[in-house]
Amino acid sequence: MYEEITDVNPGEFVKSVNGIDYYKPMMIFPAIHYTMGGIWVDYELQTTIPGLFAIGECNFSDHGANRLGASALMQGLADGYFVLPYTIQNYLSDQAVWPKLSTDTPEFAEAEKAVDAEIDRLMGIQGKRSVDSIHKELGHIMWEHVGMGRTKEGLEEGLKLLKALRKEFNENLFVPGKKEGLNTELDKAIHLRDFITMGELVATDALHREESCGGHFREEHQTEEGEAKRDDENFFYVGCWEYQGADEKAPVLHKEKLEYEAIKVQIRNYKN
């Protein structure tokens, strides 16, 4: 199958060096998890932050470079279905039991009023686009412009399309049924609103970060051999974008400097 696709025989002998035979290697299609590192976890998959658990290939046991997609999926399933139900409860059992919060407070009333107003807004648009159709369009925008290989031009175009899609969502969304009782389309619409915001966040941060690092690969920033090229001088920090509301205000970037004491920071190279 590989030879039919690439016209290369991966078993063809190339040369012999010091008694070791070398054959043509198979080229593996790049997937995002190959550049992923792992997060340190304990035996219950809890990170160094109490209450924060890391599952799947983001936990340190086998990071993304050491496996193919099927085994990565399998660890995510195994951790989620079989491990975490037994480890998270050990953490929760040791936590304080908070009393039931009172709903007779001005803060609760304000929050409830805001949620009701947002639900009424979504239900009242009564446009012509279904939630699923807008959701699919969002997926295409993210895949084409904010995917594995990113460029400045592509991200800028993606942000324009995301802005237009948010306008379409706010003006042409149709949610059938009523807000009372169970309305799955309303539930999906609320999540989709957040997905669009998340898409804008990812694209904004990817456009700002002029380097290739981890799961973020900017095609303008790579070595001659196609490896990710970091810029530690300008981007050696954790970035957090502060949301400024649904209007046209740009998010505000907060930075936290990275400091390593136990490891040497260096470019990862899978060819050596």
Q: Which residues does 11 contact at the CB level (< 8 Å), separation at least 6?
A: 23, 24
- pLDDT, tens only, 190-217: 999 999 999 999 999 999 999 998 788 8
> SS3 breakdown of the chain: % helix, strand, coil, rounded to 5?
45, 15, 40
Number of helices followed by number of strands (H, E) in the chain: 8, 6
Domain boundaries, the chain: 2-92, 100-200, 209-272
pLDDT for the residue 62? 56
Confidence of residue 31 (pLDDT cuts 50, 70, 90): low
Structure tokens given for 138 = 């969002």
- pLDDT, tens only, 134-193: 999 999 999 999 998 899 999 999 999 999 999 999 999 999 999 999 999 999 999 999
Tell me the mean pLDDT in the region 116-138.
96
Higher per-residue pLDDT: 3 or 236: 236
Confidence of residue 70 (pLDDT cuts 50, 70, 90): low
Burial class (CB in 10 A: 0-12, 13-18, 19+), 45: buried
Put residue 38 in one of left, alpha, beta given phi > 0 → left and psi -120 to 50 → alpha.
Answer: beta
- pLDDT, tens only, 240-272: 999 988 777 889 999 999 998 888 887 766 665
What is the rounded CA–CA span in Å between residue 23 and residue 8? 11
58 has pLDDT over 80 = no
What is the rounded CA–CA span in Å between residue 120 and residue 116? 6
Structure tokens given for 56 = 């799947």
- pLDDT, tens only, 6-24: 888 888 888 888 888 888 8
Question: What's the one-letter identity of residue 80?
Answer: G
Q: Which CATH architecture has domain 100-200?
A: Up-down Bundle (1.20)
pLDDT for the residue 5? 81
130 has pLDDT over 90 = yes
Per the prediction, the chain carries an average pLDDT of 87
pLDDT for the residue 228? 85
Of the candidate ranges 46-50, 74-78, 254-258, 268-272, the one whose mean pLDDT is the lowest: 268-272
pLDDT for the residue 134? 97
36 has pLDDT over 70 = no
pLDDT for the residue 32? 63
